[in-house]
Chain A
Amino acid sequence: MMGRAQLIVGGVLSAGFVLAAALSLVWVPHDVAALNIAERLRPPGGAYLLGTDQFGRDLVSMLMVGARSSIAVALVAVGIGMGVGVPLGLLAAAHRGGLLDEIVMRANDLIFAFPALVIAILITAVFGPSALNAILAIGIFNIPVFARVTRGGALSLWTLDYILAARVAGKGAARISVEHILPNIANLLIVQGTIQFSLGILAEAGLSYLGLGAQPPTPSWGRMLAEAQTMIYTAPRLAILPGLAIVLMVLGLNLMGDGLRDALDPRLRRVAR
């Protein structure tokens, strides 16, 4: 029951942000590229629902476009993690106990041993700050997460009878992995994907807060927060609103991830009943 409520609340929150981001592709209340100094620091109300920032840009539009870059960065980063991590995990599971398994998993341990955000800062410091490098940095640290989840899930499946039957029927390891293992660990991957997505949003916000993410003039939540810092006494909403957006988006995704796990995991479902 709890899981259902979580799923709904989380889903609504996340969907709201995704829709706002999608909408910003075709329409925003005010153009965020055109600065309007005369209209700067307007309080909420009137033509500007949440007021304007220090450059006279509409805050609603800024948050909408900011959601877009956050979601895009997190989505691609999760894509990198899944695209590389899942095949690696399947490969390791297929060669369980073998040399390849060792190499893949120890390489994962190696990446895990580094603090992700610090390495992300290193990557952006070396290659220059940009949204692309932020994606790469976050994406690389998603790889071992997915590799482990995939390998863990796949290992238990490899011992099952129907896999043995498939092997007896002459199917190769690669084919078994794709045809029989992958569909059966999809639920794990979806849940993990949602969690990683929320972590990606958080990491993107952190990097752009430090000035290492999307570069101006592209709005991003983290940078809005950083720029509003010194104005926290004069115009607190400039810091509160992007902060709130980050919190709600991450909360929504986490709730959704939890809800999905409860809904998709057969063992948990039994307990709930």
Chain B
Amino acid sequence: MRRIQIAALCLALGAGHALAAQDTITIGMVLEPPNLDPTAGAAAAIDEVVYANIFEGLTRFAPDGSIVPGLAASWEVNAEATTYTFHLREGVTFHDGTTMDADDVAFSLNRARAEDSTNAQKALFSGIDRVEVLDPLTVRVTLSAPNGNFPFNMAWGDAVIVAPESVDNAATAPVGTGPFTFGRWVKGDRVEIARNPAYWGAAPALEKATFKFISDPSAAFAALMAGDVDAFPNFPAPETLAQFQADPRFNVIVGSTEGETILAMNNAQPPLDDVRVRAAIAHAINRQDIIDGAMFGYGTPIGTHFAPHNPDYVDLTALSAYDPEQAKALLAEAGQADLNLRLALPPPSYARRGGEIVAAQLRAVGITTEITNLEWAQWLEQVFKGHDFDLTIVSHTEPMDIGIYARPDYYFQYGKPEFVALMDQLTGTTDPAARTDILKQAQTMIAEDYVNGYLFQLAKTGVADARIEGLWANAPTQANDLTAVRWTD
């Protein structure tokens, strides 16, 4: 009955628009990308604009997280998983009219793995030994060690195919092969893209799309309510979702992301180089309180740096169960009865609100924290690059990023040799069962070392006009793929 009422209301509301189906959309985003070149920047916001819209890679992520063909229609791999032969699609052109062929693929891969490459995920390409152009539509990639997961690497936004003619200007005028061409970028406000008439695949339903950047949660709320923004795929204010759910004009899309939200600790610096102190902090944290208090119930508790929807996930939450008494005992054992730590918080509400809750929970076991709220630029400079922090809260939204624990210079500075060996072993393993086994060992190792406080898997809470369909419910990678998005009225 209720459903019928809603449908009737939708019809009534939609009646005014019924004559001409809309073919433009405005998508809201919290952060503005620093540039638009996904092969030269780490910011998630870059991929959220360009991935699958402007740029495409050899392979790509499907909405369910599986790897499907992209610019490579198919590929073959030898038994040792050291040689991949990619067969490119025919008749693919860049937006500037030039043809996309095997030379462009070789150029893109060699550019990304070069010594002076500014690619943010160089590790994706580090296994490549050489790239050979067999004919204009065939590329053979030879790896220095077996890697059964190479097509996954090629699906990342950092591995998209660019053309040597246009890549120099990609930061401000990206030229790709995707279903949309870059229109213009009004700095501080929006990026506009338009349908690519020469697209090789199925033409998208949308004629024009605008990405509008609204960092303030209350402004984001107001923009949706006023209809200035049609959809906000990563809506920053979970506290208002109940309001949208009750409103038939909107559709609330709750899915999962690859975002492991962690209380990162500076493993290289006393007193946090002591595993007992880190364990104490982990036991002092009540995950459910953080999920309820900061995310209004949206989020899944995690016990290690791995996405719970991944089949290889091991539930290790019991290792760091909420136990303030044990936390106090561990602190006493470590001789750190009166601990004072700094807690740096970037802008998202999971960090700001979660940080206040974490601070209160740590205070309950005798750890004093001094909270500093940082803007993203300051956070990147001071915490991520400068390693000048004790504790911070951040969500790692890259898919399958457990490998960051093998990097000793990564901001939380773990890089235990045993773990590095495990990751090397993983790269060289193609057998799915063996890979699962290694991944489980890796998850357990970082959980037992209490490298970071593992809080929760970030939920993807999106709000969209109820007449829009085709938006991704989950976020297997950072993307706002508009290929299948259309208005239904």
Contact = CB atoms under 8 A, between A and B. Distances in A.
A232 B289 CA distance: 22
A40 B355 CA distance: 16
Contacts of A56: 293
A227 to B, nearest CB: 8
Interface string B229-247: 0000000010110110000
B218 interface: yes
A54 B239 contact: yes
B359 interface: yes
A231 B296 CA distance: 12
A33 B292 CA distance: 18
A174 interface: no
Interface in A1-53: 33-35, 37, 40
Given A37-B293, A55-B357, A233-B243, A215 B371 contact: yes
B237 A37 contact: no
Interface residues of A, number: 21
A216 B221 contact: no
Interface string B359-381: 11101100000111100000000
Interface in A209-245: 211, 215-217, 227, 229-234
A172 interface: no
Nearest to A231: B239
A55 B243 contact: no
Contacts of A128: 372
Range, interface on chain B: 20 to 34
A40 B372 CA distance: 24
A193 interface: no
Contacts of A229: 217-218
Contacts of B240: 230-231, 233-234
A56 B286 CA distance: 15
A55 B356 contact: yes
B373 A37 contact: no
A129 interface: yes
A159 B293 CA distance: 66
Contact of B356 (A216, A230, A231, A234): A216
A217 B371 contact: yes
13 contacts: A33-B363, A34-B360, A35-B361, A37-B289, A37-B293, A54-B239, A55-B353, A55-B357, A56-B293, A128-B372, A215-B370, A216-B371, A230-B218
Interface of A: 33-35, 37, 40, 54-56, 128-129, 211, 215-217, 227, 229-234
Interface of B: 217-218, 221, 237, 239-240, 242-243, 288-289, 292-293, 352-353, 355-357, 359-361, 363-364, 370-373
